[in-house]
Amino acid sequence: MKIERIIDSLNPNERKIIPYLSEKNISEICKKTSLDKVSVLRALEYLQNKKILNLSTKKKKIIEIGVNGALYRKKGLPERRLLNLLSNKRILNLGEAQKQTRLSNDEFKASIGALKKKALIEIKNGKIFLNANKEEIAKKSLEELFIDSLPLEQESLTPEKLYSLKILQKRRGIIEIKEKKIIEIKLTELGEKITSLDIKEQDLIEQITPAILKKEQLWKGKKFRRYDVISSLPGIYGGKRHFVNQSMDYARRIWMDLGFKEMAGDFVQSSFWVFDALFTPQDHPVREMQDTFFIDKKSVLPDKKIVKAVKQSHEKGVGNSKGWNYSWDDEEAKKLVLRTHTTCLSAQTLAKLKQENLPAKFFAIGKNFRNETVDWSHGFEFHQSEGIVIDKDANFRHLLGYLKQFFKKMGFDKIRFRPGYFAYTEPSVEVDVWHKEKKVWLELGGAGMFRPEVTIPLLGKHIPVLAWGMGPDRIITDYYEIKDLRELYKNDLTKLRKMKFWIK
């Protein structure tokens, strides 16, 4: 590209800063061009794209004045204020000296230590004696000179200043060391040629607008700025849903396409729905504080008929069951908890169903909570996808068919089922999917058919209910190649903008 063409392509801000590129200092360029820092940086990037200059970034440690340091620079260091007081009194009681200087205990002790170290004072019988002459009092200490010279680059410090830095670092809030990015400007051979020319600001037409096109006199005979179609532009990130919500929406759409209706409910549920209605005995370890978040309030139990049926299921059994053979306590069932699974929504849905509405099928996707220590592979909250099918003709083969169809739509063609155990389903299976890239089986959930001890109290009679629950979090972390579960809940905008869309 000829120099003339490059000059014709320069925008007004680029033309403004070119005469000052030799400054090689962003702040100075801002000052001399009256442009803000963002405009200058943007113009520099455009000039770099045109091969006029090269930008590089270096990290430097800058020593700046701290909060207390700003105060001390104005009023003087504590030892300076004490020294000034003693220059008039020569001898003072310790208590009186602190009172008159208005120093805190820590400041007063620090100033005494600093002055004693320099042999400017002596302490005898609870009194301070000044040993310094007028010249010594008037002379600024190395620490004072250092504070006055801030800000400074740490690399540029002399041995004396390094000593002052070491002393001041021990005293809280006087100085701060910050790492800053310094942008360095280096002209190319082309840049050297262009900066040697007298480039003046021109009245160029920057944009073709409807107003310009309507009136010939606005553009005829005038010069248009040459468009730069090669330079890269800042990335534009459109609004989008959080990647976790995207994946949940996808799973939700799968179940809806299969004819399921969505179940919804509160995070806070009674122990009755979370545990008792699902035939979990009241002395089971899963109900202990180590696993569950309890809330210091109690709920009201549902319809007496259902409560009575659940109680009988626990104490004596229903159908051919013998129950758990213990005394069921309704106060225990009233305890409020953060739900540990979405299966409590399935129990509530079964309790509301009418016989004329059968067969029916429902799903739920939502957060659950368990008392876990948070680390890269564990969290105290997690997502679960839940489903039930209520049909007098349903069987175990139907259950496996639904699961195969769901995971196939989630992108997993190879699925296996293993016998498993869950408290409220029988028979039960564990669901694994084959990971093509890693060549391993991933365990993603469990499923089964609700036991009569669950269905009879809630439905009034035993009707086959297919049920499953799976953790989408594992699918999400695998799809987005996330190694730490905590990243699902962070709001790092840079990462969120670059996250790919959920496409399976």
The two three-digit tokens of residue 50, written as one number = 């045109």
Quote the CA–CA distance of 460 and 470 in Å, as a whole number: 28
Give me the pLDDT at residue 396, please: 92
- Tokens 């869309």 map to which residue? 501
Domain annotation for the chain: domains and CATH numbers: 80-140 (1.10.10), 244-498 (3.30.930.10)
Give me the pLDDT at residue 504, please: 56
List residues bridging with 447 in a β-sheet: 429, 468
DSSP assignment of 203-236, as one string?
A: --B----HHHHH-GGGTTTPPBPPP--SS-----
Give me the pLDDT at residue 290, please: 67
Q: What is the reported pTM?
A: 0.57
Taking a C-beta distance cutoff of 8 angstroms, is the pair 431, 444 a contact? yes
Q: What is the DSSP letter of 42?
A: H
Tell me phi and psi for residue 256, to 5 degrees: -65, -40
What does DSSP say about strands 261-262 and 360-369: parallel, antiparallel, or unpaired?
Answer: parallel
Closest CA to 82 of 123, 29, 41, 50: 123
Give me the pLDDT at residue 232, please: 66
Rg (CA), the chain: 38
* Dihedral sign, Cα of residue 250, residue 254, residue 256, residue 262: negative
Give me the pLDDT at residue 269, please: 92
The two three-digit tokens of residue 242, written as one number = 């959080």
> Helix or strand or coil: residue 268?
strand
The two three-digit tokens of residue 62, written as one number = 């800058």
Residues 6+ apart with CB under 8 A from 375: none
What are the start-end ranges of the H helices in 60-169? 67-75, 78-89, 94-101, 105-117, 134-138, 142-149, 159-169
The residue ranges of the chain whose pLDDT is under 50 are: none
- Tokens 């569950």 map to which residue? 292
Quote the CA–CA distance of 124 and 144 in Å, as a whole number: 27
Give me the pLDDT at residue 303, please: 86
The two three-digit tokens of residue 285, written as one number = 């370890």
- pLDDT digit string (tens) for 156-196? 888 888 888 888 877 767 888 888 888 888 988 888 888 88
